Structure 1
Amino acid sequence: MRKKILLFLVLVLAIETSSAQKVKKINLHTEIKKNRLHIANRIASPLNDKKYQGLELNEKEGEGIVWLQNQNFSKGSIEIDVKGQDVFQKSFLGIAFHGQNDSIYEAVYFRPFNFYAQDSVRRIHAVQYIAHPKFGWEKLRKERNAEFEKAIPNAPDPNGWFYARIEISATEVAVFIEKNLNPVLHVKRLSPYSDGKVGLFVGDNSGGKFANLKIVRFKS
């Protein structure tokens, strides 16, 4: 009898969990070919790199964003495979979310050239949270140093593909890399916006490669 009750509870939990989530896998390679992306300050090209079907953004001055169409997001998680490069100040790439326009959004991004830097100060600048327009990286580093950017223990190859998962709640953001169970960055959100667009982010003079995007939405 106890086994039947336990099995019932497991099934109920599984049903409740699945009903509380909406999972959307997005093929970026297809999205760009069908012209279903809004691209700001970059040129995006289809990418077919063996198991990584996605897109590539060129290098250019200023920040660049690729917004997905019809993908409003509030709470949940965003998963992505990204590939930067180990070239100083030439590789900033990640995910933008809660976007209102090209200037108002939150983002989590990585600096692969700092993953294994010999300078210990550079290493703690490996992953970053920002909330434009008020809280860019310079302001956060100056006024709240080491709170919104961290090192990545056992960081992946800075020249290779790596997997990232960003979990977003009403008040917090947590960032996970590869199979690590502990977040490499966990911060309080700084934006007043509770929902908005999802996009791919690259920083000043940076390009990047993106693939295997998955959005998991949590119902309120």
Structure 2
Amino acid sequence: MKPNRLILSIALLLSVLFSAEAQQAKVIVPDLSTVQDNQEWSAFNRGISYNGNVHMAARPGDGLLILKDVVFQNGTIELDIKGKNVPGRSFVGVAFHGVNDSTFDAVYFRPFNFKNPERNSHSVQYISAPKYGWYKLRNEHPGKYENKVTPVPDPEEWFHATIHVTYPEVKVYVNNAAEPSLVINQISERKKGWIALWVGNNSEGWFKNLKISPVAN
């Protein structure tokens, strides 16, 4: 190989390597033991406590625990979640691309439906607040923005959720499954914003092992 061709080949190889590295931004692992620190977190409509995991207390209306100073666009959000097997009182998940306490997208779970053969198709849900809540989406687009969870978790136990966001596509995996439980295209035009732990009306929830892996854009 001639010297010029060798130099060109090395330059191309380095370019590919650096390009691949640049696509993956630094992984963020928030310190959940600091959830009561108002400098790092902002709670909305929920009492927050930490005892090895984050607990968001039940209260009417939706609740958020917003991670400050992190702007998320595309990438992966992973965490462990636990709800309860109580119909209508266990809605637990993650909000992202948030602007304020009423404007965000979210993926959440209904553990009480996991093992219910008549309602398991309503186990994982996407919403885009404030305009597109679950009721509107279910009535106007039945079966499009919610689905059953595979494999089926124990509704009283921890389960692992992985949410891949590549705007507008969102894929939701549970317990490291090879296939997603839910695949949707986001309704909102927001392409970035804050990330938050989320619980629904009259719900409490437990969260741990939050990890955010952004993709550089």
Could you list the per-position Cα deviations for residues 24-83 of structure 1 after superposition, in whole angstroms to 9, with x for gaps in the alignment? 111212x214332110000000121xxxxx310001111001100101111111111111
The verdict on how the C-alpha distance between 1:14 and 1:90 changes in structure 2, with shifts beyond 3 A counting, is: farther
> Aligned partners of 1:126 and 1:10: how far apart in 2?
46
Q: 1:37 pairs with 37, 41, 45, which one?
A: 41
1:47 match:
51
Based on CA coordinates, which of the two structures has the bigger radius of gyration? 2
For 2:109, give the aligned amino acid. F
For residues 1-220 of structure 1, the aligned pairs below 5 Å read: 16-22=19-25, 23-29=27-33, 31-35=34-38, 36-48=40-52, 54-119=53-118, 122-220=119-217
- Percentage identity across aligned positions? 39
Q: How far off its partner does 1:14 sit?
A: 6.7
For 2:126, give the aligned amino acid. Y
Could you list the per-position Cα deviations for residues 119-175 of structure 1 after superposition, in whole angstroms to 9, with x for gaps in the alignment? 2xx110000000011110000000000000000122111111111010111211100
1:3 match:
none
Q: Unpaired runs of 5+ in structure 1?
A: 1-7, 49-53
Query: What do you get for the CA RMSD once the two structures are aligned?
Result: 1.8
> Aligned partners of 1:79 and 1:96: how far apart in 2?
12
> Runs (4+) of structure 1 moved beyond 6 Å?
8-14
Q: How far off its partner does 1:16 sit?
A: 4.4
Q: 8 Å contact 1:68–1:199 — kept in the other structure?
A: yes
The verdict on how the C-alpha distance between 1:19 and 1:46 changes in structure 2, with shifts beyond 3 A counting, is: same
Count of residue pairs brought into register by the alignment: 205
TM score, norm. by length of structure 1: 0.88
Q: 8 Å contact 1:27–1:212 — kept in the other structure?
A: no
The verdict on how the C-alpha distance between 1:34 and 1:184 changes in structure 2, with shifts beyond 3 A counting, is: same
